[in-house]
Amino acid sequence: MKAADSLLASLRRELFASRSDGVISVGLLVLIGAAVAGLLRWAFGQAQWVVIQANTTLFALGRYPLEQQWRIWLLVALLAMATGLSWGLLRANPRADRSGVLWPGNDRIAVAVLAFLAAWGPAALGLALPLQLRWWAITALLLILRWASGRWGRRLPAGLLRWVPLIWPLLYLLGMVLISGGLGLIQVPPSEWGGLLLTVLMASFAILASFPIGVLMALGRRSELPLLRWGSVLYIEFIRGAPLITLLFLGQNILGFLLPGGLAPDRVWRAAWVLTFFCGAYVAEAVRAGLASVPGGQQEAARSLGLSVPQALQHVVLPQALRIALPATVGQFISLLQDTTLLSLIGLLELLGTARTVMANPEFLGKNAEVYLTLAVLFWCCCAALGLGSRALERRLDPSNTPA
Amino acid sequence: MTASQLMIEARGVEKWYPNGFHALRGVDLSVSKGEVVVIMGPSGSGKSTFIRTFNALEEFQAGSISVDGIALSNDLRNIDAIRCETGMVFQQFNLFPHLTVLQNLCLAPVLVRKRRRAEVERQAMALLERVGIAEQAAKYPGQLSGGQQQRVAIARSLCMEPRILLFDEPTSALDPEMVGEVLEVMKALAADGMTMVVVTHEMGFAREVAHRVVLMSEGRIVEEAPPEIFFTNPQHERSRQFLAQIL
């Protein structure tokens, strides 16, 4: 095996180039090995995962009514189907195959770890059998749809393909109905949402709503109209100058004063809007950097062809600016997802809040390590998925990434 | 020369940059239909600024310009109308890097002229054929050489069916071996009777194609003559100095 040989050779060159290198390498390897061995011994020997097994539902959904849980399962299944469909169609569409490589570099490791966790995690945690079966069924649904649409997606008429992205906003609206009720479903107020459900809901709402806010603010900051420019600068600099936790407390208290009783959104939505406006300010700065990197000649060329300012923006400047702003923007979204843990400090039972209630239960006293490790892995999975998606999108949008 | 034949008429154009620099100091120029006017001059003489006032990429503070009978004013409808009738080719090509060559050509006719995409694509392919790069239609600008990119830029301007073409140093950013292919396309356009105003340092092009050569210096036109006179017997001392430097 030539590849293995070269890997061995390069490892030898990197780790054992000289005698002192060798000593340092061996020392570090022993340290790392001891740490990993200790972790594994603890995870498979001492750790008592019953704290997770007993509270699976709590971690996943909080106090969401048991008899209504089918709605969440249905939503997850629909999400898996939409993901499989979009993913497969993207791969079937020739544009996506520009680079040819599906997951280059370190992404392959992340994909492998994610797939491994998805397949083995539920069994390792000893979840109830029906839960495990449902989980695997949904995963299978995703993979089958991805495979099938990748195989047959190319034969669909192009006019139809253009409407496929529309399933996402529709699904989001449907998801909100499924979660909160209405249209004949029993109402489940936000105070009963919790755990991973609340975390994902808060993060996805703030991500989707903060993006247009950020783009508008970035454009406003570059506007020639003084009122618009100063308004945007004021907003961006005020938000970026205050810690999120302060803004969260402020939002909980101030919205009640500002709006008459009935109009003020409830605690959960107040927090969601604060997260949205917080993230929007940072997205605005990322987009502004993207706008600044598009040469002025692009705007001039568009205008001299007769395009109006909005047309030039929509078809020429923004597509280029947003592609450049994409990595920084997704980085912002990833930290937003992690910042949702701050919601536990204002009394919302998202993942960390739920974890704290579980650890306060006398039955599970002292099981902090198990709980925190599970939380860390869950967050890593969500962030890794976001990062993978963004890098795939980056490659897809990169015009230099086309086979000649 | 009747008024209907006048494509560009500039009278006493004055321009100050915001930093106070007086870039254009009362410039007059008339270009009639089918004429090819080459503007030359040392850098900083205001020639690029001048040509960019014709499609309102630069504002001017005094004087008047009318293009194809439409007066340039602050009225946005007039500016949009003029921009539809005047194509511009830039030194840095300014192709849209996120669109394919064909999409670069079709964007403006579909958005601005509201024409049907299929019809525009047919015309775009014919234009690419004419500038000799039809086989690159599906590629992105970044995959083409400089000369090819500039020919795409010319085709992109032509796709709007302009009545005037403005060239702002179209060959200055090109490697020497690619200058010829771009000049060939421009010569063919001139032979077809296109009205063209060209800012360039290409002596050969000016000699062969221009009906008139204009020399600008320090924001003024110092000499305006047919090429055979301009290059052999210039009337002004400033022109003789300029020609001595570049010949």
* Residue A225 counted as domain residue: yes
Residues of B in contact with A323 (CB under 8 A): 98
Assess if residue A344 is contained within a domain: yes
CA-CA distance, A310 to A291, in Å (whole number)? 14
Tell me, what's the pLDDT at B216?
92
| CB-based contact, B135 to chain A, within 8 Å | no
Last residue of a domain, one of A168, A187, A206: A187
3-state helix, strand, coil in chain B (%, to 5): 40, 25, 35
**Does B143 contact chain A (CB < 8 Å)?**
yes
From A297, A306, A400, residue closest to B92, measured CB to CB:
A297
Question: What whole-number distance in Å separates Cα of residue A303 and Cα of residue B128?
Answer: 22
- Report ipTM (2 d.p.): 0.89
- Would you state the structure tokens that stand for residue A214, as one six-digit string? 């950020």
Q: Please tell me if residue B95 touches chain A, with a CB cutoff of 8 Å.
A: yes
Please indicate, yes or no, whether residues A30 and A71 belong to a single structural domain of this protein.
Answer: no
Provide the CB-side half-sphere exposure for A343 (13 A, CA): 34
Q: How far apart are CA A203 and CA A404, in angstroms?
A: 40
Q: Which of A301, A320, A397 sits opposite B90 (nearest CB)?
A: A301
Structural domain that includes position A199: 189-404
| Chain A CB contacts of B142 below 8 Å | 399-400
d(Cα A274, Cα A348) in Å, to the nearest integer? 14
Look at A297 and B107 and tell me if their CB atoms are within 8 Å: no
Residue A216 predicted with pLDDT over 90: yes
Q: Between A292 and A52, whose confidence is greater?
A: A292
- Residue A55 located in a structural domain: no
Least confident range of A61-75, A115-129, B144-158? A115-129
Q: Which two tokens stand for residue A307?
A: 């395009």
* Cα Rg, chain A, nearest whole Å: 24
| pLDDT tens per residue, range B120-135 | 999 999 999 989 899 9
Same domain? For A320 and A211 the reply is yes
CA distance A230 to chain B (A): 22
Same domain, A178 and A265: no
Q: Provide the 3-class DSSP secondary structure of residue B31.
A: strand
Q: How many CB pairs under 8 A join A and B?
A: 70
Contacts for A198 with CB less than 8 Å, ≥ 6 apart: A62, A268, A343, A348, A349, A350, A351
Cβ–Cβ contact B217 with A under 8 A: no
Tell whether B87 lies on the interface with A, counting CB pairs under 8 A.
Answer: yes
In this complex, do B86 and A307 lie within 8 Å of one another by their Cβ atoms? no
The pTM score is: 0.83
A217 and A94 within one domain: no
Whole-angstrom distance, CA of residue A142 vs CA of residue B148: 45
Q: In chain B, which residues have their Cβ closer than 8 Å to the Cβ of A316?
A: 96, 107
Q: How many CA atoms lie within 13 A of B73 on its CB side?
A: 6
Amino acid at B187: K
Residue B88 or residue A18, greater confidence: B88
Q: How many domains does chain A have?
A: 3
Look at phi and psi of residue A169 and say left if phi exceeds 0, alpha if psi is from -120 to 50, else beta: alpha
Query: What angle is formed at CA A235 by the lines to CA A234 and CA A240, rounded to 5 degrees?
Result: 100
> Which of the listed residues A169, A187, A205 is the one where a domain comes to its end?
A187
* Closest Cβ opposite residue A320 in set B87, B97, B157: B97
Q: Which residue shows structure tokens 């006019």?
A: A159
**What value does the mean pLDDT take over residues B33-43?**
91
Could you read off the pLDDT of A135-145 as tens digits, one per residue?
888 888 888 88
Pairing of strands B164-168, B86-89: parallel
Q: Which residue of chain A is at minimal alpha-carbon distance from B79?
A: A306
Mean pLDDT for the stretch of residues A367-392? 88
| Range scoring the smallest mean pLDDT among A182-186, A371-375, A385-389, B8-12 | A182-186
| Domain CATH for A221 | 1.10.3720.10
Q: How confident is the model at residue A186 (pLDDT cuts 50, 70, 90)?
A: confident
Q: Cβ distance B85 to B51 under 8 Å?
A: no
Which residues in chain A have Cβ-Cβ distances shorter than 8 Å to B160?
Answer: 305-306
Do A266 and A149 have their domain in common? no
